[in-house]
Chain A
């Protein structure tokens, strides 16, 4: 009964997100995100049908569809990146380099982990691949969140809701997956139970923040900023150097 309630709630919320996106003309603004929500809705409906009518096949279907869900969720990383750094070419360039480095590093780490694990069964390998892809996704998201905080990137309400909901989902899923694959994973059972609730919270955040189209923060006027990094960097470095010299002169004779 409880499982069905969560299932139906998730399907209802996903439908609401899609319907509001269409009504508020947000589908064109965030096409990758809505494509992800549509694919998850489809997977949820298929899972529900499978659970009801072919329950023996459900476990294998779950892990395969989970892998598809994780792969499609990379679209949200791209959507957040695309939407947030439109007016910040410097951070976009830096983020591209950092994301590439993080992707290669985590990709190599998880590939070696996967190869050392050996081939036990197809569903096990699928599950492990899904877990590892989630780790890579988590690392990419972390780099982006760090850059947003460091360079104080401004967000509109729509994009912020998208990023917060997604971070909550990925953050808790990464922690849960780590415990799930640990031998004697009693702790993970509790976490695993809380994960559908987290997903419902995420969907609620998305539904509320994407209910209507909100204005994005405006970039500063071209004449009010300096596009030359070398000059800006030199000015700040000079200010810090000047500060230490004067502090030294002030504090000791």
Chain B
């Protein structure tokens, strides 16, 4: 067996040890966990919705008007304090949302294990959605931490708009492609 063939086998052995360690941790926390019911799940969904109940207040965290007002009237110290507070609030809000979504997914998985006919395709799709959420929310956290709430939101909005622009451009180009010309170009040249 070559060294390259050794890597997957060693990885297999290591993963077995890691996952069994995780199982032990899961068992040691069993005191905190109790039997999950559909009632808990409904409560978790309501809790996730409640993250957005105060929409106006959350919008205020990222509002540009406030930063413009402070930069015109406030001293340097006030501006720094204001930015620090807004950054803390924004990070707290994203973390709370992450926590609520993780709790909901946790309950979903526990309840899904009791169902009769699971759909692996649906589970995979849900996992991909959840992974995308984790990726996006952690990306947002990094941006918030590096640039603060106002610049971070501008960067995200710019990236989303750019992605939308490229997506629509590609769609238009595809519509303009002449299928007749394309098929003649694909034909092999005669010698």
Residues of A within 8 A of B (CB): 87-91, 93-94, 97, 113, 135, 138-139, 141-142, 145-146, 148-155, 160, 163-164, 167-168, 170-175, 177-179, 181-182, 217-221, 224-230, 232-233, 235-237, 239-240, 242-244, 246-247, 249-252
Contacts and interface: CB of A to CB of B under 8 A. Distances in A.
Nearest to B125: A237
A88 to B, nearest CB: 4
Contact of B116 (A90, A155, A236): A90
26 contacts: A90-B112, A93-B117, A97-B120, A138-B12, A142-B16, A149-B19, A149-B26, A150-B109, A151-B110, A152-B110, A155-B27, A171-B20, A178-B10, A221-B35, A225-B37, A226-B115, A227-B116, A230-B122, A232-B108, A236-B105, A237-B125, A237-B126, A246-B55, A250-B59, A250-B62, A251-B62
A151 B109 contact: yes
Contact of B118 (A93, A148, A160, A235): A93
Contact of B97 (A135, A175, A230, A247): A247
Contacts of B24: 160, 164
Interface of B: 1, 3, 6, 9-10, 12-17, 19-20, 22-24, 26-27, 30, 33, 35-39, 41, 45, 48-49, 52, 55, 58-59, 62, 97, 101, 104-106, 108-120, 122-123, 125-126, 129-130, 133, 153, 156-157, 160
Contact of B114 (A89, A149, A163): A89
Contact of A220 (B1, B13, B14, B36): B36
B109 A160 contact: no
A251 B30 contact: no
Given A240-B101, A240-B130, A224 B14 contact: no
Contacts of A97: 120
Nearest to B100: A243
Given A167-B20, A170-B13, 7 more contacts: A145-B20, A163-B20, A229-B115, A232-B41, A239-B45, A240-B130, A246-B55
A224 B16 contact: no
A182 B114 contact: no
Given A90-B118, A226-B38, A182 B1 contact: yes
A174 B14 CA distance: 9
Contacts of B109: 150-152
B19 to A, nearest CB: 4
A171 B126 contact: no
Contacts of A164: 20, 23-24
Contacts of B126: 233, 236-237, 240
A167 B13 contact: no
Contacts of A93: 117-118
A167 B27 CA distance: 15
Contacts of A160: 23-24, 27
A179 B6 CA distance: 7
7 closest A-B pairs (Cβ-Cβ)?
A167-B20, A175-B13, A171-B16, A145-B19, A224-B37, A174-B13, A229-B115
A114 to B, nearest CB: 12
A133 B173 CA distance: 54
B39 A168 contact: no
Given A224-B38, A251-B153, A252-B153, A90 B12 contact: no
Contacts of B26: 148-149, 152
A56 B81 CA distance: 82
Contact of B16 (A88, A141, A232): A141
B114 A233 contact: no
B112 A233 contact: yes
A188 B12 CA distance: 17
